[in-house]
């Protein structure tokens, strides 16, 4: 069984400390990210690397400054300026990415609005068409019923009597079955 390493205040416990790499299971797989998310993660990774480089270089330069004095101070300033330049570049990339996302969102909103208007118009046309078709079919059915009642009056009266008789018998059976419960 492996023994755990002792903890002390000499060993910092930072997220950026190389002895504690991030848990790879907590990171989302690259293939599931959108282009916007991938770009944002690249920018974030670049900014993180700049910060780590800046911290390491400051630590190294502080050590060297105690040994070499003014030479180390100038190198520290140079590295700080380089780090600032990289940080500004990363910030510019983030701003470009945000602007592109804003433009894309506005484009999608306009497209969705136009599509919704088209669908609303098509639905209104279809409803109007179905309404007029229903009116025509109702009119035709009424004409056909009138024609049948004129052509076959005895048959219509007998059919109406049969329907009435069946409805009456059905209602009696239904009422009788409801009383039993």
Is residue 60 within 8 Å of residue 52, measured between CB atoms?
A: no
Distance separating the N- and C-terminal Cα atoms of the chain = 76
* pTM, rounded to two decimals: 0.36
In the prediction, which pLDDT does 8 show?
63
Q: What is the DSSP letter of 26?
A: G
CA distance 46 to 142: 78
DSSP labels, 134-176:
HHHHHHHHHHHHHHHHHH-HHHHHHHHHHHHHHHHHHHHHHHH
Instruction: List the chain pLDDT tens, one digit each, 181 residues.
Output: 456 656 666 665 555 555 555 555 555 555 677 877 888 888 888 888 888 888 888 888 777 766 666 665 677 788 888 888 888 888 888 888 889 888 989 999 999 999 999 999 999 999 999 999 999 999 999 999 999 999 999 999 999 999 999 999 999 999 988 876 5
């Amino acid at each position: 069984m492996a023994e755990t390493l002792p903890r002390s205040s000499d060993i910092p416990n930072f997220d950026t400390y190389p002895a504690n790499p991030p848990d790879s299971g907590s990171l989302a797989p690259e293939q599931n990210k959108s282009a916007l998310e991938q770009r944002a993660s690249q920018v974030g990774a670049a900014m993180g690397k700049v910060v780590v480089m800046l911290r390491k270089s400051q630590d190294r330069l502080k050590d060297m400054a105690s040994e070499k004095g003014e030479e180390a101070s100038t190198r520290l300033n140079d590295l700080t300026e380089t780090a600032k330049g990289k940080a500004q570049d990363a910030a510019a990339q983030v701003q470009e990415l945000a602007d592109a996302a804003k433009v894309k969102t506005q484009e999608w909103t306009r497209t969705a609005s136009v599509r919704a208007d088209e669908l609303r118009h098509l639905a209104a046309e279809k409803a109007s068409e179905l309404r007029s078709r229903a009116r025509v079919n109702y009119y035709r059915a009424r004409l056909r019923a009138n024609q049948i009642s004129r052509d076959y009056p005895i048959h219509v009266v007998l059919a109406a009597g049969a329907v009435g008789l069946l409805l009456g018998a059905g209602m009696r059976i239904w009422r009788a079955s409801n009383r039993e419960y």
